[in-house]
Every structure is written in structure tokens, then in C-alpha cells.
Chains A and B, each alone.
Chain A
Amino acid sequence: MNKGISRKRPAPPQPAANPAEQQATSPEEEEEFVDEDVFLDETLFETEDNLVLHDIEQRQSLASRLTNWARPPLSHAYTSASRSIAFQQLEIDYVIGESHGELLPNWSGSAAIIRIFGVTKEGHSVCCHVHGFEPYFYINCFPRMGPDDISRFHQIFEGRMGEVNRNSKVPKFIRRIEMVQKRSIMYYQQQDSEPFLKIVVALPTMVASCRGILERGIQIDGLGMKKFMTYDSNVLFALRFMIDCNIVGGNWIEVPAGKYKTTKPLSYCQLEFHCLYLDLISHTPEGEFLKMAPFRILSFDIECAGRKGHFPEPTHDPVIQVANLVTMQGENQPFIRNVKTLKSCAPIVGVDVMPFDTEREVLLAWRAMQRDYKLSSYSLNSVSAHFLSEQKEDVHHSIISDLQNGNAETRRRLAVYCLKDAYLPQRLLDKLMYIYNYVEMARVTAVPMSFLLSSGQSIKLVDGAKIIKLIPGRSPVPDVGHLEIRVLEAKAGFYENPIATLDFASLYPSIMMAYNLCYCTLVKPEVVHKLNIPPECVNKTPSGETFVKSNLQKEAKDPLEKAVLDGRQLALKYTFICPLIRISANSVYGLTGATVGQLPCLEISSSVTSYGQQMIEHTKNIVKDKFTTLKGYEHNVEPIKLEFEKVYYPYLLISKKRYAGLLWTNPGKFDKMDTKGLTKTGDDYGVKAAHVELAECMRKRDAATAPNVGDRVPYVIIKAAKGAKPLLRIFEPILKNASKELLHGSHRRSISISTPANSGIMRFAKKQLTCVDCKALLSKADRTLCSHCKGREAELYCKTVAHVSELETLFGRLWTQCQECQGSLHQDVLCTSRDCPIFYRRKKAQKDMAEAKVQLDRWSF
């Protein structure tokens, strides 16, 4: 996933005239999502869109192809709203709008409306507005709280909210407060549940401001200043909805006939309707509901006319072309291909070319097309080479302007390039089965697909299950920096014997299960005494934390983790889902250790690592004792599988996490050369992320060529620090006294002779031919060789001509390869892809060839 696909949440429709992002980038990864209220504003643009659409339809030549684009027409049962609508949802978000008068007669004012987008099995696009679902969260209840206290608390709280949100027009902030029996996930507790207050608010954004007020403390008459712990307050609204309605990412949702109301459409979806959240039927992804609806996937590429030396910016650089390709999920050829260009463009086979006169028209036409496709963006540079083993043709952005300013033919050339770029992501999607993977991942982790693309791993977990227990709001965690994880000392050196590699299968999750380590089994030591827990029922971990054993805490397994592991039952049927589950299970551990994460719990993570440590130590001893009979590693609690993973032969180990070796997984032949840590990565630098710094440096130097998020920078050449000896780093593990052998001795002696180039006495110098071989000055009669070398003429000629011959071979092969990649024999190669292994060679071959030819021509007389 990290292979260069930039993280960006599909943007809500933006005001037109501001679209020119060439390859969308997002500034930083966001670990935590914040609800943003999006207000319904699409109506503003409708008229404009329609105008352009109308304009397009006037173009007769395109009319026939346009009909091909349309989604299948709705059957009568749909139009008359007489049948239930079942669809596979792809995206869930919410907007703030007026509450629906018919569905919710008692409501007034603005409310959050959930929007579910999806596709039916016939291929109709669906937009479902769900009403009546309210945002809420929990707080702990103060002791002996009665109904009167609650209503008084309600009033005070409402007042405080009013003060904070003075500008808000919402009549009532806190809808209601109820008392419920729940329990927190943190710490072992003996009773099953305790009272909590459920606070229902009007709009999702208010949750955060409520939390602020409550955590800072609130003055209550008779009780004084009270601070509250909030629970479930950082669960996103859309997720909250999914959890409560049993919806998992990418599953099928059905709305029975008669339960929905159609209205004037706001989106471009074929079926748009309103319903109540209680009427939704969510189907678990099993049997028939494992199928995929015929989604349409749009990939596009936008070309901008850049200024030389700058990366295009929306304010300065016009968008000149937009290429679009639409593929039906499960098919391998796009069925819509078009290019929208600024100014005329020569036609391209099998592609609709739609020329427009102004930038505005190009973009509006594109918006019209964009209407029912969800967008993701990709950065392509090395991805293509990696997965498709094809080089991406890369046209330098300065050439793009030149092509645009040429004639219809050159713009056509650009359009072809644009289309190819647009098609690449689709081929990648196909090749890597991203669609299947993401739908499955979304189902396993129960979040909408877009969350998987845009957020880090922790999001996959927070709602890994229907939450029975409450997750506390963010509690301040002392920032202790990274956990100190002790790793065995690496024995640096070069190994010429095969090195076997053993690996624990899902070590951390297994430890957590084996030792019953969980948020809800953690007990503070003082509590152990207070609750009189018998010592045989607790487990003291090597890091000194205390956890109760499974016989005491029934719901021992972490509910999050359990859900993830339970997914395995289902997933086993479809083997390709398995790696996804492993990713999820591993991130449980990550979640506990990340101090900035959703639910940090350092006690758990340090315990896990300390157990891991012990286990590795123990394993090491066992392996040392009898490594021939080693099969698995039986531990006292639950078996943790130890896998024989691979063999390195030979193997160069420089230090921990820095090695290189040929990797073998079968005795026949090796798989690949595996290297790690030999180039610097982000981990090698403390807090400052090296890659960020580098990108910043490169941006300062030349904004146009600076890397974007997801781009790979293969290497940079820097000025070495004074006294740096990179050679030593490489040879140290192999050579004893590397420094002495490499850096001292006769081979290091240097002799320098300074030659003035163009000053002083050199102005009196005359240029004269020298002998090709011995460099002696030639007399006027000779042209190639001096009289001394004349006797070896044949031999020296052979040498020169052999060099030319070699270069010619190279020249021919490199340039024809570029023609091949380009996919055209009759057009000049424009590609300047710096990621391509032959780009520089190709250029160099051209230059060397010219020089060698001149040299060879000296012989012809």
C-alpha cells in the first residue's frame, strides 16, 4: 500500500475554478480523524454543469459514444419505488442539512444526514440519505446521580455549550442525556457494568467541543467543579453509524420497498432516496453478499501548462488536458476512454477527443463526468516499473507547455501520453487486485474503504468490532518516547555458510492472547490488594505489570483483537484475505504502544515486548541445544508457532537491521538479493524525519522537480561530512583492519600537476593534433598517428573501431527500447523519466557516439 499511492481523502466537491492539482498530495498523514461538517452546497453548481452538459450533447459526433457511457436505465420497479433497493456501499459520509420533515415529523433544525453511496447489482448508482441517526458519546456518571441531577446537569451543560458556540444557529445543542449501564475497556473490573451518561448532541462537531468542556471541568450547583472522563468521544460519526447499524465496509445494504422516499436529486446518482436509519438492513458479507457490484472505476490524469522551473500551481498554470478512463469492475478493458483538451487536437483511435476552447470548459466538462465516480489519486513514478515491469514514459513538464502551444498534432501527442498515464493506475489496480483487497479489508475491519486509503493502521482497529465496552477519550499519556526494545547483539561479519532464519508467526498478537494481555485485564498493583485477587490469578509480566489470568476475566480476549482473529474463520475460505488479517492483528500491538494513537496503553506494549524478549532468548537456547530436531516451540500457555522462514547464503551482516544476502526459500535457486538498512532510512535519524528534510531541501533548490508524497528518491549525492569514510562502513565487516588496508599505502598516493587553462602563458599556446595512441604532437603531414606509432596502425585502428562498434550497439538497443516503451516508431522519444534505468545511459550513448564518430573519422583519408 505504501508503494507510492498518496493518501488523500476523496475531496468533497470543491468550488469550480480551483481544481488544478496535478497529482493530488496531502501534506501529512493524519492519524486521527476529525469530523468536519460538510454542508450541502452542490445545488450551486448544477446549472453551470447542465449548461456544459448540454453543450457536449450538441456535439453530434460524440452523441453516439455518449450513450455508451450512461449507466443502465432504471427498470420500472425502481422508478415506481415498488421494490426494495439492495446495493453494495462504497463510501459513507455525512452532511449537515435540514432534517427530513416527512420521515421525522418531530424534528426541526439542522441535523447530520448520513449519505451512503453504492452500486446495485444491475449497476445503478445509489445515494442513500439516512436520517435520524444522532451523534453521541458517554461520560462517567458521578455517584448517586438521580434523574433530577441529570436534567440539572443537562441545563448547565447546554448553557456552557451556548457560551462556547455563540455563533452557531443550532437551537439546542444537547438533545438528551440518558443513564446507561456500560463498562470501560480499561483495567480489570469485578462488576460487569457501571452507570454511564449517554449524551446525545445535535451535530457531530459538537462532540469535540463537549469533550473539551467536560474534560476541563464544569461547575455544577451543589457539587462544585467536576471533571469528567469522556468515552467513545473520538469515534467518528460515520463509524459510529456503521457500528450501530452493523455495517462493515463494502457490504450490501438493503432498504425495503415503501420505507424510502425519493426526492429531488441532489447528486448525480440514478437512485437517490431518503430513509430512516432503523429501516436499513445490513447484510453480513456471506454467501450471495460476498459478490461485488459492477463498480465503475475512473482513473484520470490532468496535465497543466507549467512554467519552466516550477511545479504547476492552480493560480498560475492552466489545466490543458484531462484524460479519463472508466472500467467496469471485473473487466480488463476500459469501456470509456476520452481526453478533454484545451484547443483542437488530432483524433486518436478508440478514444473520444473533446476539444474545448477555455480552461473553464475543460474542467466543467470533466466535472460533469466525475459526477458518480469516486476518486483516488496515485503517484506513479516507480510503481509501474515495480509491478508491471514496464517503464512509465515520463514527459518533462517543461515540454508539456511546448506541446500544448504547438498544433493539433503535438497536442495529440500530449493526449496520448495523458491517456497512458491515466490507464496505468487501472492496470495496477487490476494487477494487484486492489479492489478485492480493499473491499475485503473494509469488511474485516468494518470501516469504509476510503478510510483505509487515507488513514493509518490504527483506524483499522478502533472499530474492529461492535464495541461492547467504552473506549475512553484521549487520556494524557506521559510521552516516554519510543519503547526501548532490546534486541540481541548482532554479530557483524560476512558469512559464507548458509544462515537460516526463524520467525515467530504473528508473535505479538500470539503473546497477547497467550498471556491474556488486554486493556480489560490490566490491574494496577495497588488494586490487586484492594480487590483481594488471589495471587495465582494474576500474572506478573517481565516488565513488572500485572494482568489477571483468563479464569478471572471471562471476556479475556481483547474484543478488538478477537473480532479480528474471528474474521479468520470467514477469511479462511478466501485465502487472499489472510495477509490482511495479519496486518490488522499486528496493528493491535502497535495501537497500544503509540502514545499519540487512539488508545495507548504502554503497560501492554512493554509487557508484550518483554515477553517477546524472553521468548527469543529461550528460543535461542533451544536452537543452540538441538537445532536439528527443531520443529515448533511449545510454550507453557499456548503454542506459538515458530516458522522456518528462509535461508541467507551468503550473508553480510553489518549491524542489526543492516544486512545483505541472497535469499533462498527453496534449495533449487535463490529468490532475490535481500538488502536492508544499507541505505539510510527514516529510522536512522532521531526525531527529524530524513525524508521530509530531504524533500524540503530539494524543493528549495528546484520546486518543479522536488518529490511529492509517495515519490521515491532512489539516491542523492551529497557532500560528505568532513572525515567521513563510507568505504569503511562497507568493508568493515569483511576486512580486518579495513582502515589500514584501504586508506593507507601506496595506492593512495596522489600526484597533482596543475595546468593553467586559459590564462597567462596558455594564451600563447597553439592547438595541434596529437597522436591517437601516444599523444605525441603530430607534424603537419600526419593526421592520426605519429611516425613512431605508424607501424601499429592496423592494431590501433581496430581498437578505435571496436569502441565505435560497441557504442553503436548500445545506442541502437537503448533508443529502440525507448521507442518500444513509447509505443510509437514514428515519433521522437520525449520521455525523461529519471526513474528509468536506461534514461541516462541512452543520453550518454548519444553523446559518446558523437565523440567516437569524430575520433573514427580521423582515420579516413
Chain B
Amino acid sequence: MEAMEIDSEKNLHRKHSTYKLLDERFGIQKEMYRGQQYSQIYFARLHMMRTLLYSLVPNWKPHLPVCRVLGLERDKECIIVGTLYKHMKLKPCVLDEYSKTRTVTPLVKPHNFVHLDDHLILEDESGRVKLSGNVLSPSVYVTGTIVGLHGKETDAGDFFVLDVLEAGLPPQIELPLKSREGKYVVFVSGLRVGSSSLNPLQFQLLVDHITGHLGDEKEQGIAAQIVHVVIAGNSIEVPHVLLNGQNLASKDQSRLSEPIKELDILLTQIAAGLSLDIMPGIYDPANFALPQQPLNRCLFPGSSAYNTFRSCTNPHCFDLDDVRFLGTSGQNIDDLDKYSEATDKLDFIERTLRWRHLAPTAPNTLGCYPFTDRDPFLIESCPHVYFVGNQDKYDSRLVKGSDGQMVRLISIPKFCETGVAVVLNLGNLECHTLSFGTQFSS
């Protein structure tokens, strides 16, 4: 009936929703490199997580004493909390690159560095102890994860693990009751404008679809329900060979700036219609270390004029109609994929949630800023939607926590390779894909 009314008026109105940006903790504008090292971020992480895990112990194994690594006594069962360190045989070592014999063995870069001989070590600020037993699988855990362990010290000086306590899903703000029906959010990642793999027509189709310039009225009606667009990293392909510090010839200058301009034009089309978040990715002209800072507005002279355009950090966190979103451009999960194993990418995503840490491998194998007093990657409050960009394929799963938390995990595929964007129904947190294909009949 309502649809009929709209139909009759022939005038579609885009729905609106309230948006709240929650990126402050990922900003490093005020941070400085003052000679600090990475020990402090580990320290902060351990401190926060230990407080949390200690609070869980009474419900887990109240009869057991809690120890520090130093306080271990032989054959006495206890619980220790600490940072895991995975000793990896195949882990590439920067020293090898600088050693004199570097030409002898070519540096092979396998996809995955997991090896059967890997073993885990638990560390707190007092010391380290090697872990043994089959409960804790080295292929699952990575350096930087914080866990509580139940076990005992053996004669060999190892800690024999009997049980593992993970932090589990963080507490979640309740899903608001107010109507979120019929609102959609679009996720896209890996546009790679400027690369040969992107079909520009596909992207234009996507933009036209979102902005409602495509299809019949029914389709336009669907487009009108899209309230927000998130671009999760790797939007621009910058030819890195040009960025070697040399002054550029004018031809190269345009090679560099053309893709940026092209992207700006398309983003302007979106931003004119609805709110848009753009996150930096590993290939974007942004800094490398996490948290990646927002892409500079000078790259988007057109779209940045709109207040609907937001250049955000990676990781990125926001509330939309009080639904909490958290996501990254994929580096954290890709790094887990290199240094641990799982059946599918969603498992990695779920693990980070259970470990309550977005990027446990940072700073060990994933570049990150050396924070001194905090670890911004800790997940203190459980998002309702947790998305990760630049993955090989679309996948989605609903994870339920022990306290009734519900999280929608989304793995967003690379658009330039698949032509697929992901649409989330804000009402029931269900997902589906938008596939764009172009076929020319000759």
C-alpha cells in the first residue's frame, strides 16, 4: 500500500539514518615518534587483557591459584595469563636480507609460514615459559594473542597446558528497537582504480545503482533504501615505481594523478546522494603501519566538498542507527592467514573477535604504530557488524556469543576481481551480494 503511494507520487526519497563516527582511538595525529619501542604496546595490551581475564577466572576455574610465569612451581596446577609468542621456523627474518650471503639462498615468500616444528611460548613481564601439550595448537594461535592457561610446570621446565581460557566475545550494546527496516548498507573493497584488473564500467554500474540511476522504478526503490556506503580499502592503484623520490616527468605526473581524479569523480557522484566512508588500504596512498590514517582530503578535491564524504581510518568503527560497525581493510586477517591456519577466512575473523584483538600479530609481523600507553586494537565492545575488506571471496556468518551477543561477520571480496559488492540489511543484519557484470555482444 505504502509502495503504491510512493509509486503514485513518482518521487523516491532516500532513507536516512543517524551516523556516529567512533574513530578517535585510531588517530595518531597527536602521537610522535620519540624513540619509543614496541614493548609498551605489548605491556598495555597485557595489562588490559589480564585484568579482563582475571575477572573471568572465578567463573572458569575458581579453585585454581593464579600465578605469574615466575611464580610457577613444579607440578603445581595453576592459571597463568600472558602474551603468546610463536616460535616459527619459517618466519622470514630481516637479518637474512642484510646478511652478506644474501645472494646464496633466494628469499622465497611462501603464502604461509606455518611449520610442524612451531611452538608456543607464554610471556609476561616477568619471564617466558615454553608451552607443551596438545590443547593449544600452535597452528591456530599467533604471536601477540593473550590467553589464560591452566596447566602445570613439568620437570623439563615446560608448562604443560591442560585448558585454555580466551577472552571471548566482548560485551555488546543492545540492538536498538527502533525501526531499522528497509535500510541497507553497501560494502565494497579493492576497487583498485587505475589498475588493469578493474573494469571501469563495473564500477560505474555500481555507482549508478547506488545512486539510483539504474533500472526501473522498482530497482530505484531498492537503491533508495541504501543509507550508507563503506569503501574498505585499496581504492586506488598508484604506480609505486613512480614514487621513488625522483621528480616526475609530466607524463608520469598524469599517470599518477589520473586514477586519483577518476576515483574522485565517481566518489563525488556517490557523496552527492548518500553518506560515504572511505578507508585506506595497503595499496592506497596512505601510511603503512596500522592504524592507517585517513586518506588525505587533497586527493579528493571534488567529493571532499560534501559533508557526506568521510575519509576514515583503518580500522574503522562507527554507529549507524545505533548499530555498531567495526572493520578493517584486511591486513590483519591476511597476516593471520600467513602465520596461522584455519579452514576459511571467517574463522580468522571470528578468532580476532574471541581474542578481543583486531590485530594480534601487530607489531610482530604486521606494521603498527608504537603506542605507548594504550592498545587501540583491543575490541572493548562487541560490534554488531564486523567486516573485513579485500578478501578473495564473499562470505558471511552470524556469530553468537555466550551472553547473547550477535555479530555479523562479513568478508568483502575484491571488487576489481569479482565485481561483487556486499549489501547488508540493517534491519535483520542479513547479507547479500550485488554482482556487476558486463557483457558485450559483438
Residues in A lying within 8 Å of B, measured CB to CB: 346-350, 389, 391, 669-673, 792-795, 797-799, 801-806, 808-809, 811-817, 819-820, 823-829, 837-838, 841, 846, 849-850, 853, 856-857, 859-860
Contacts and interface: CB of A to CB of B under 8 A. Distances in A.
Contact of A815 (B95, B99, B363): B363
B128 A824 contact: yes
A348 B46 contact: no
Given A819-B38, A825-B38, A794 B260 contact: yes
Interface string B71-97: 010000000000101000000011100
A846 B298 contact: no
Contacts of B124: 826
A829 B36 CA distance: 10
A805 B38 contact: no
16 contacts: A670-B104, A794-B257, A805-B287, A809-B367, A812-B289, A812-B363, A813-B94, A816-B38, A816-B363, A816-B364, A819-B37, A825-B83, A825-B123, A825-B144, A826-B83, A853-B32
Given A349-B70, A826-B124, A850 B98 contact: no
A821 to B, nearest CB: 8
Interface stretch (B237-245, B348-356, B423-431): B237-245
B123 A824 contact: yes
Given A672-B101, A859-B298, A806 B288 contact: yes
A846 B35 contact: yes
A344 to B, nearest CB: 14
B440 interface: no
A347 B285 contact: no
Given A794-B299, A860-B296, 17 more contacts: A346-B70, A346-B126, A347-B70, A348-B70, A350-B157, A792-B253, A803-B243, A805-B288, A814-B94, A825-B85, A826-B39, A827-B39, A837-B99, A846-B33, A850-B35, A859-B296, A860-B29
Given A804-B287, A812-B289, A825-B123, A817 B29 contact: no
Contacts of B243: 798-799, 802-803
A789 to B, nearest CB: 11
Using C-beta atoms within 8 Å of the partner chain, give the interface range for chain B.
35 or more
B160 interface: no
Contacts of B205: none
B386 interface: no
A837 B102 CA distance: 12
Interface string B248-289: 100001001100110000000000000000000000011111
B103 interface: yes
B34 interface: yes
A828 B94 contact: no
Nearest to A854: B32
B365 A826 contact: no
A795 B38 contact: no
Contacts of B24: none
Nearest to A836: B95
A828 B42 CA distance: 11
A837 B95 contact: yes
Contacts, number: 147
Contacts of B34: 850
Contacts of A827: 39, 125
A814 B94 CA distance: 7
A840 to B, nearest CB: 10
Query: Sorted from nearest, which 9 A-B pairs have the closest CB atoms?
Result: A812-B367, A802-B243, A805-B288, A850-B33, A837-B98, A808-B289, A798-B285, A808-B288, A350-B157
Nearest to A857: B29
A730 to B, nearest CB: 18
B359 to A, nearest CB: 12
Contacts of A849: 33
Contact of B95 (A346, A801, A838, A853): A838
B326 interface: no
B289 A826 contact: no
A850 B157 CA distance: 42
A349 B83 contact: no
B312 interface: no
Contacts of A670: 104
Contacts of A798: 238, 243, 256, 260, 285, 299
B98 A801 contact: no
Contacts of A805: 286-288
Nearest to B125: A826
B215 interface: no
Contact of B296 (A797, A812, A820): A797
B224 interface: no
B33 A826 contact: no
B35 to A, nearest CB: 6
A824 B121 CA distance: 10
B240 A348 contact: no
Given A817-B93, A817-B95, A826-B42, A349 B245 contact: no
A794 B242 CA distance: 13
B129 interface: yes
A795 B248 contact: yes
Contacts of A806: 288
Given A797-B296, A826-B123, A672 B257 contact: no
Contacts of B288: 804-806, 808-809
A815 B370 CA distance: 10
B147 interface: no
Contacts of B193: none
Interface string B142-178: 0110000000000001000000000000000000000
A387 B417 CA distance: 47
A673 B129 contact: no
Contacts of B129: 349
Contacts of A792: 253, 257
B368 interface: yes
A553 B108 CA distance: 64
Contacts of B296: 797, 801, 859-860
Nearest to B243: A802
Nearest to B144: A825
A850 B126 contact: no
Nearest to B289: A808
Nearest to A670: B104
Interface string B24-50: 000001001111011100110010000
B320 to A, nearest CB: 26
A537 to B, nearest CB: 55
Nearest to A675: B100
B182 interface: no
B32 A349 contact: no
B70 A801 contact: no
Contacts of B257: 792, 794-795
B69 interface: yes
B437 interface: no
B127 interface: yes
A859 B296 CA distance: 8
Contacts of B95: 391, 817, 837-838
Contact of A803 (B32, B245, B248): B245
A794 B240 CA distance: 14
A792 B258 CA distance: 11
Nearest to A848: B33
Contacts of A820: 93
Interface string B364-387: 111111100000000000000000
Contacts of A350: 157
A85 B129 CA distance: 43
A32 to B, nearest CB: 38
Given A798-B285, A803-B245, A841 B98 contact: yes
B70 A802 contact: no
A820 B38 CA distance: 11
A671 B296 CA distance: 49
A799 B239 CA distance: 11
Nearest to A799: B243
Given A826-B125, A860-B296, A801 B287 contact: yes
Contact of B367 (A803, A808, A819, A860): A808
Contacts of A804: 287-288
